[in-house]
């Protein structure tokens, strides 16, 4: 094994999550569903005017995604249940939030989820200080556990190639449309070619793809728009799928009922094709995004460009991939150098 990075493939251009994503497609209706429908067992909570004003602020002024709004509402109501009926947002103390933090840790809650929960609480109190004249923010005195640093799992270029060619090798089921293999190949090619998130891919419309400029328009987190390049192999796969399925407008990727393919269905599709390969890793759609970023950096792309392509708000989020690349180089060095 040598220390040189694998050649850049042509494909790469120079839950309850499913419920949240469904709501993202129908925000006008979904965000007005009762709390008891979204989170069973919360119907006993009294209407909280402070909380509702904050949620409205997130939705209208911050233009937060439905997914974020649901997560933040859930976090705030989780604390309310812990604090009890007599607790008031006006009088909550740092000690109460420390006790809540300890309770979350005792429940073996993932650190990432703990930090998300407290991000919601901190955002809520920051809003109250700035908009409602609250004098003291008790969350300032609460120290959170550090995030566990886990390097993302990345497929090799060879593994990506094996996975992306799998749809054409699977025997079609009788109930599946004749164009299902072409669709699955096009979706996975686009995933890896442009480094999209699962929700971004599911939300794509035909009009978002520009074959002349070889780009795709993506609406990412916070409803921010970005334009991402699409490689030639992915473009050809998409054109073949659209021809076979007669997709001219509306959702880009459709089900056999010709409705927009859900995020969950895309996940199941990837899992099905993975089972037909020799890859032993647990691969999610996000692993193709990880592989996209790492393979670009392996082959000399600068960090800022990768940040833009991924739609990361902060460069620090993208920097995790530099650690992956370094680890791969170290491994190659240790295996190849005679005095390593």
Q: Which residue among the candidates 74, 226, 264, 312 is catalytic per the annotation?
A: 312
Residue 14 · residue 296 · CB < 8 Å: no
The residues that bridge with 205 in the sheet, in sequence order, are 251
Joined together, the tokens standing for residue 200 give: 């971004």
Q: Which 3 state secondary structure label does DSSP give 218?
A: strand
b/e 289-299 (16+ beta carbons within 10 angstroms → b): bbbbbbbbbbb
For tokens 């959170």, name the residue: 144
Residue 192 · residue 291 · CB < 8 Å: yes
Estimate to the nearest angstrom the gap between the alpha carbon of 313 and the chain centroid. 13
Q: How far apart are the first and last CA of the chain?
A: 13
Residue 239 · residue 211 · CB < 8 Å: yes
Is 98 marked active-site? no
Question: E-assigned strands of the chain?
Answer: 209-210, 215-219, 225-229
Q: Which residue among the candidates 197, 242, 287, 328 is catalytic per the annotation?
A: 197
Is 323 marked active-site? no
Is 312 marked active-site? yes
Is 221 marked active-site? yes
Q: Which residue among the candidates 13, 125, 241, 321 is catalytic per the annotation?
A: 321
Q: Which residue among the candidates 73, 128, 289, 295 is catalytic per the annotation?
A: 289
**Catalytic residue annotation:** 197, 221, 286, 289, 312, 321
């Amino acid at each position: 094994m040598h220390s040189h990075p694998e050649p850049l493939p042509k494909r790469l251009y120079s839950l309850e999550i499913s419920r949240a994503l469904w709501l993202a497609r129908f925000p006008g209706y979904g965000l007005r569903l009762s709390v008891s429908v979204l989170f069973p067992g919360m119907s006993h909570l009294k209407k909280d005017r402070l909380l509702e004003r904050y949620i409205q602020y997130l939705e209208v002024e911050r233009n937060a995604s439905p997914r974020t709004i649901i997560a933040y509402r859930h976090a705030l109501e989780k604390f309310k249940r812990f604090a009890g009926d007599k607790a008031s947002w006006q009088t909550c103390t740092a000690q109460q939030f420390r006790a809540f933090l300890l309770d979350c840790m005792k429940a073996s809650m993932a650190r990432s989820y703990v930090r998300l929960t407290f991000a919601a609480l901190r955002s809520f109190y920051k809003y109250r200080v700035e908009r409602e004249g609250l004098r003291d923010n008790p969350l300032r005195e609460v120290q959170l556990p550090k995030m566990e640093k886990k390097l993302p799992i990345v497929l090799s270029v060879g593994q990506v190639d094996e996975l992306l060619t799998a749809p054409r090798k699977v025997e079609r089921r009788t109930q599946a449309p004749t164009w299902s293999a072409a669709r699955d190949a096009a979706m996975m090619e686009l995933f890896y070619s442009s480094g999209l998130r699962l929700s971004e891919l599911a939300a794509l419309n035909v009009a978002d793809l520009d074959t002349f400029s070889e780009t795709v328009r993506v609406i990412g987190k916070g409803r921010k728009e970005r334009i991402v390049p699409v490689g030639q192999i992915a473009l050809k796969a998409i054109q073949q799928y659209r021809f076979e399925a007669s997709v001219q407008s509306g959702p880009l990727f459709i089900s056999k009922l010709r409705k927009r393919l859900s995020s969950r269905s895309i996940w199941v599709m990837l899992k099905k094709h993975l089972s037909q390969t020799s890859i032993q890793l647990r691969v999610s759609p996000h692993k193709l995004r990880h592989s996209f970023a790492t393979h670009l950096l392996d082959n000399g792309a600068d960090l800022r460009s990768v940040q833009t392509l991924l739609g990361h708000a902060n460069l620090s989020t993208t920097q995790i991939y530099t650690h992956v690349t370094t680890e791969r180089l170290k491994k190659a060095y240790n295996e190849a150098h005679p005095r390593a």
